[in-house]
Structure formats: C-alpha cells, structure tokens
Amino acid sequence: MSDFVCIAEMGPRDGLQNESVSVPTGLKLDFIRALSEAGLEDIEATSFVSPKWVPQLADATELWPQLPVGPRYSALVPNMKGLQKALSVGCHRIALFTAASDEFTKANINMTIEESLVGFADIVAQLRESASGSWVRGYVSTAFECPFSGKIEPDKAVSVALRLLNLGVDEISIGDTIGVASPHEVSELTKALLAEIPKEKLAYHFHDTRGTAIANVACALEKGIRIFDSSAAGLGGCPYAKGAGGNLATEDLAYFLTREGLTHSVDLAKLALASLPVLGLLNQCPYAKAQVAVLAESLQK
C-alpha cells in the first residue's frame, strides 16, 4: 500500500469562514503562498457563497485569479449561482457540501439531504458541460454523529456517499463535524465505506474537538485511507454545530505522518510559521500542538 498521504488543506476556507474578523485579501494570498511554500499541494482556497451568509469569504472572485501558481486549488460551491461565479473566474475544481443527517443540512444549508443532492446533480452537469478538467469533491458531514439528532448509523453515511458518487463526484470527504468520534467508530464506518467505494476516492475530515483526531487518522490509515483534510494551526471549525471547533491541525497531522514513517508533501518547520500573520490578525496564539513544539524548538536553537 502506498506510503504517500495526501493532505487537503482547509485553512483558507474552512479555517477563516467563521472568524469574527475578515482577513484582508492580500493577507489571505500571503497565507496561501506560505502554505504552498510549506509544501501543501491541495488547498481549498475559498467558497463562492453569498457574501451575506459568509462575509469572511466575500472576496472569492477577487481572490481566485490571484492565487499563487503551484497547488491544486478548489472552492466550495453552495448552489448554481455559486457555480456561475466560480466559472466566471476560471474555477472548475469545486466542493459540494451535504451531510448524513437531515437535521444538520436543514440547520446548515436549509435543505434536506435529498434536496441538496437534487441541486448538486444540476451543478455537476453544468460544471462538466462548461469546463474540461473539472473536479468535484463531495462532503458528507456529521457522518458519525449529528449535534441535533445524535448517532448516525454507518449505512446512512455510506448511502449519501454513494449518491454523491452516482452524481459523478470524484472524491468524497467524510466529516466528523462535531469532533466526537473515536477509532472503533472510524473502523466500523471505514469498513462499510470500503465495501462500496474504492479507497482512492475517500478522504476523512476529522475535527480534534475532543482530542481524538490523530487516533482516528491512525485507524483510517490502517484501513488504507490516504487522504486527510486538515487546517493550518487548527484554524476553524463549524459555526452551526453545538460545541464544535477545532479542525485537525495540519501541523499535528504532518508530524504524526512523518513519525509513523509515511510520506507527505509538507515541510513542518515552514508550515509552523505559515499561519502566524493570520493568527496575529485574529488575535490568537498558535494552538496546534506540533506547531507550538516546532516554534518552541526553533526559539531554543
């Protein structure tokens, strides 16, 4: 099995979308450039969402054409209007967001899962027609537990993932949106997913809200998963989920993978510095454990 692990960087989109301060476009570009120079090859850069919903990402059409050359970028697209905006600036790598719980999609995107999938079918068809080389990622959030309706059975998450694949989505990212899962659940869900879906099409999006994310990564790696979402400095969480917060930090993920003898594209020393200007603007201290350790070590040298 491949020793190379793909890291999908969520910092610029998922990391910033819920901050009370809007990061200026220039500083976002510096952040993304620093992430690229730290080796990140897959970056979800922004969301073509209504500025009324997410004012922090209102600069998506301004940002996209200025993205530094190098990484593969993608952007979240909530609806057909978002797709039109994305296409207008040459973005044809998109991500679609749904969940394994109707209660969650209703609270989050004001639709049932079914309604979201119907909309996605049109978006994917339009994208494929409009652009060659397009690529679509589908998020299945609250795949383990919903903050409103509780535990989600693996079958439910698998069925939504299969529906997305049938729509022509290229990659599915399975989310522990409120950061509650532990390895036996990851083991169970991964087995169920792999019975239906090739592992190359599967990613996990763990939140480290209760400190379990790296143990969950370890479990998923054992089962053959090789794509993980994370956010530099652990920036961001989910604004709609009770008690949510804490994307898995890319620094913690990169440290863990290296120490486990797996390969990836990230230079941890560079990455530890990449988020500092944004953290400073947000008036936050670095709070990814491996980031703090790397910064402390470099100060002691």
List of residues contacting its own copies (CB under 8 A): 179-185, 208-212, 214-215, 217-219, 242-243, 245-246, 249, 252, 255-256, 259-261, 287-290, 292-293, 296-297, 300
Closest to its own copies by CB, 188 vs 200, is 188
Residue 206: count of CB within 10 angstroms of its CB: 27
Cross-strand pairs, 97? 139
Class of residue 249 by CB neighbours under 10 A (exposed 0-12, middle 13-18, buried 19+): buried
From residue 274, give the alpha-carbon distance in Å to each of 27, 60, 114, 216, 256.
11, 21, 39, 25, 19
Which residue of the set 91, 219, 238, 285 is catalytic? 238
* Inter-residue contact 84 to 96 (CB < 8 Å): no
Q: Which is nearer to its own copies, 126 or 182 (CB)?
A: 182
Structure-block tokens of residue 177: 């949106």
Does residue 41 come out as left (phi exceeding 0), alpha (psi in the -120 to 50 range) or beta? alpha
Task: Pick the closer one to its own copies by CB: 121 or 296.
Answer: 296
Residue 12, SS3 per DSSP: helix
Q: How far is residue 19's CA from residue 147's CA, in Å, rounded to a whole number?
A: 21
Nearer Cβ to its own copies (89/276):
276
Rounded to a whole number of angstroms, the minimum distance from the CB of residue 41 to its own copies is 22
CB of 212 to its own copies, least distance (A): 6
CB of 140 to its own copies, least distance (A): 20
> In whole angstroms, how close is the CB of 100 to its own copies at the nearest point?
18
Structure tokens at 7: 């890291």
| Helix boundaries (H) for the chain | 25-37, 60-63, 80-88, 102-109, 113-130, 154-166, 183-194, 213-222, 250-259, 268-274, 276-281, 289-300
> Considering beta carbons, is residue 153 or 297 the nearer one to its own copies?
297
Minimal distance in Å, beta carbon 218 to its own copies?
A: 5
Q: Is 238 a catalytic residue?
A: yes
- The answer to whether residues 37 and 275 touch, using CB atoms and an 8 Å cutoff, is no
Catalytic positions are 238
